């Protein structure tokens, strides 16, 4: 798409074809555009990747009609197993246990409401199509059901072109375990062990590992056999993942487990399976699509060591995982012996609001799980990503948490521990700011802060002091630099201009990057801190939110507007929904009054901080 015209993967490709403008429905979800690209390139096969059309039976049929080989299952198998309602019926027939719920794909929203009462709360509203946590909402009480249904349907329609929904009972404290399977066109199906995907936020995976820690061999045998049985029941050919919930958070021999869905594609987390088996899963896909037998029988597939994958996102965990849109000023991954890095970005690339915010996957493979965690811990410390906010510090907090290391987790772990895992960033110490200032100075001249070119009343004798007004991560801050011989020190400046709290530069201990003479980035505690000279120049949102002003919390698309200008507004009324990547942000009124102004229209693209609406509290009695 146009948003990816200068992306790293496009530059690496031998040939690239334009498929449309940035919005996915007009490019990567446009079947005709993808088929045309295949024709123009002279391809004879299409590999669908992880998302977009990878689970669309209509796309598979379009490929076949165009004389192209689709690298994946048949449209019939995808339709039966990829749609969650049909897959559950197949599972029941095959004797595979399923989560209780309501799965009629043709049910309207009124029917869903009545069935929800029969199932009981809490429950899950889920999209029939697709995966990746899109179109999924937890409903704790009946009064939240209507909003969840409308929101899930809207998101599912945008992501998959299918707004149909189903309901599932919410299983208490589950572990999320998935089994990688492969089938060929000759009727053979094998499993490649399991992956533990329990660590999630918003039903989207954050960390995956293989094999599942503390998994009982008997439970593994039961689950892998259930996965193979399910795939065999449909003559499945290609890569697939059968996903289960294990009730109670323990992976003991007799633990109850339930089939929840099957992903009829390769998974984002497939590298951990490649690591423990030594197999190339994409090679297997291509061989099976070419009509070959499975490359290995079940008895030859073995598991060696332990692998863990971190999903590195451009997002702010402390701001409810809001995507971070903008230019990646610098991107550097560490070179560690047991570390594999899969990434599609580099310094200078732009994170857009149109697609998923994942910018890299870090995979560590080691003889023991603890060793793999140590490699990833070091990677989070040693990486350098500047320009966008990332979840690196959050990931590091996860993989060093005592309960994660002990394997005593469930899918609600992150939500419960979020305040400790992703605290609001504290103000960086002056030593860190000093490191940024020195980086700017080095960019400006070979000699930091040259004394002979500085108009600051320099004189021989007492220490020379320079004061700077800065933006530190968009927060105004005053800092002073004190020179004394060869020693450089930094101090805070209070509102009265007094200097206090001095730190030596040697204490900063931080990596820096200065793309320009008036801006620098410092990597500190696994996050990139932006430091800019001259407060007020750039980096500040155009508008400030208040009780009466609603602004966009992220850059994205206005998915809906709920009220018209002039309408009466009560506290809690939904005014608008802003969508970016895999998230919806609902903007609600915090005061009673009248909607005095709507600054945007549905489908408009807005920048973070853009004004959405203004409420006139005086209009409440008008």
Helices (H), 244-401: 270-277, 281-289, 369-382, 392-399
621 strand-pairing partners: none
Q: Are 372 and 338 in contact (CB under 8 A)?
A: yes
Interatomic CA distance for residues 155 and 613, integer angstroms: 22
Residue 200 exposure: Cα atoms within 13 Å on the Cβ side = 18
Interatomic CA distance for residues 51 and 356, integer angstroms: 10
> Which phi and psi (to 5°) does residue 229 adopt?
-60, -45
Q: 265, 311, 477, 530: which one is catalytic?
A: 265
Pairing of strands 136-139, 123-127: antiparallel
User: Tokens standing for 492?
Assistant: 């805070």
265 is annotated as an active-site residue: yes
Q: What radius of gyration do the chain's Cα atoms show?
A: 27
Residue 275 is classified by DSSP as H
Interatomic CA distance for residues 260 and 265, integer angstroms: 16
Pairing of strands 69-70, 45-46: parallel
245 strand-pairing partners: 176, 258
List CB contacts of 244: < 8 A, sequence separation 6 or more: 176, 177, 178, 179, 223, 226, 227, 257, 258, 259, 260
Residue 199 exposure: Cα atoms within 13 Å on the Cβ side = 26
H-run or E-run covering 68: none
Q: Are 130 and 162 in contact (CB under 8 A)?
A: yes
Interatomic CA distance for residues 337 and 343, integer angstroms: 17
Q: Are 270 and 281 in contact (CB under 8 A)?
A: yes
DSSP, collapsed to helix, strand or coil, labels residue 210 as strand
Q: Are 85 and 78 in contact (CB under 8 A)?
A: no
Interatomic CA distance for residues 255 and 266, integer angstroms: 27
User: Tokens standing for 56?
Assistant: 């669309």
**Other Cβ atoms closer than 10 A to 143:** 8
Interatomic CA distance for residues 250 and 364, integer angstroms: 24
For CA atoms 11, 13, 15, 17, the dihedral sign is: negative
Instruction: List for the chain the helix, strand, coil content (%; round to 5).
Output: 30, 30, 40
Interatomic CA distance for residues 383 and 526, integer angstroms: 8
In 3D space, the residue among 537, 535, 507 whose CA is nearest the CA of residue 522 turns out to be 507
**CA distances to 56, 405, 491 from 160, in Å:** 8, 36, 53
Interatomic CA distance for residues 330 and 384, integer angstroms: 7
Q: Identify how many contiguous H helices and E strands the chain contains and give both numbers.
A: 15, 35
**CA distances to 13, 55, 438, 465 from 480, in Å:** 49, 57, 12, 7
Catalytic (active-site) positions: 265
């Amino acid at each position: 798409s146009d948003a990816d015209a200068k992306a790293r993967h496009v530059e690496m490709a031998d040939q690239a074809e334009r498929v449309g403008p940035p919005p996915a429905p007009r490019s990567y979800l446009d079947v005709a555009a993808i088929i045309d690209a295949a024709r123009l390139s002279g391809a004879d096969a299409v590999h669908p990747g992880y998302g977009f059309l990878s689970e669309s039976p209509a796309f598979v049929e379009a490929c076949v009609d165009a004389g192209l080989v689709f690298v994946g299952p048949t449209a019939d198998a995808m339709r039966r197993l990829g749609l969650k309602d049909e897959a559950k019926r197949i599972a029941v027939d095959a004797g595979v246990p399923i989560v209780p719920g309501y799965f009629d794909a043709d049910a309207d929203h009124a029917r869903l409401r009545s069935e929800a009462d029969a199932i009981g709360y809490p429950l899950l509203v889920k999209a029939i199509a697709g995966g990746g946590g899109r179109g999924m909402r937890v409903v704790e009480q009946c009064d939240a059901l209507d909003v969840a249904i409308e929101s899930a349907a809207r998101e599912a329609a945008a992501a998959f072109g299918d707004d149909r929904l189903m309901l599932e009972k919410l299983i208490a404290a589950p572990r999320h375990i998935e089994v990688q399977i492969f089938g060929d066109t000759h009727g053979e199906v094998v499993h490649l062990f399991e992956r533990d995907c329990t660590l999630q936020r918003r039903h989207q995976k954050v960390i995956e590992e293989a094999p599942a820690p503390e998994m009982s061999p008997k439970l593994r045998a039961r689950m892998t056999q259930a996965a193979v049985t399910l795939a065999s029941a449909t003559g499945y050919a290609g890569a697939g993942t059968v996903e289960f919930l294990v009730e109670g958070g323990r992976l003991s021999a007799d633990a109850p487990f339930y089939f929840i869905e099957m992903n009829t594609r390769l998974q984002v987390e497939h590298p951990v399976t490649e690591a423990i088996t030594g197999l190339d899963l994409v090679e297997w896909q291509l061989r099976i699509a070419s009509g070959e037998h499975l490359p290995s029988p079940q008895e030859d597939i073995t598991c060696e060591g332990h692998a863990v994958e971190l999903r590195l996102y451009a997002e702010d965990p402390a701001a409810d995982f809001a995507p971070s849109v903008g230019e990646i000023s610098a991107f550097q991954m560490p070179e560690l012996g047991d570390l594999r890095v899969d990434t599609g970005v580099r310094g200078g690339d732009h994170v857009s609001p149109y697609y998923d915010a994942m910018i890299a996957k870090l995979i560590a493979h080691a003889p023991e799980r603890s060793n793999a965690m140590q490699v990833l811990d070091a990677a989070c410390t040693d990486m350098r990503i500047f320009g966008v906010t990332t979840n690196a510090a959050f990931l590091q907090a996860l993989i060093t948490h005592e309960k994660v290391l002990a394997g005593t987790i469930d899918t609600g772990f992150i939500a419960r521990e979020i305040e400790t895992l992703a605290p609001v960033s504290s103000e960086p110490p002056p030593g860190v700011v000093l490191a940024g200032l020195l980086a700017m100075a080095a960019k400006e001249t070979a000699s930091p802060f040259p004394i002979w070119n500085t108009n600051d009343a320099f004189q021989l004798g007492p220490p020379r002091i320079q004061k700077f007004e800065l933006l530190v991560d968009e927060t105004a801050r005053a800092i002073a630099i004190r020179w004394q011989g060869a020693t450089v020190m930094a101090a805070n400046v209070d509102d009265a201009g007094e200097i206090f709290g001095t730190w030596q530069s040697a204490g900063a201990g931080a990596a820096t990057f200065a793309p320009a003479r008036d801006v620098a980035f410092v990597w500190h505690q696994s996050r990139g801190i932006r430091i800019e000279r001259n407060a007020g120049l750039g980096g500040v949102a155009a508008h400030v939110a208040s009780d009466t002003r609603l602004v966009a919390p992220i850059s994205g698309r206005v998915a809906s507007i709920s009220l018209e200008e002039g309408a009466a507004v009560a506290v809690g009324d939904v005014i608008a929904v802003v969508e970016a990547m895999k998230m919806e942000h609902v903007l609600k009124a915090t005061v009673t009054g009248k909607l005095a102004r709507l600054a945007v229209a549905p489908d408009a693209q807005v920048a973070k901080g853009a004004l959405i609406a203004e409420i006139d509290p005086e209009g409440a009695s008008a």
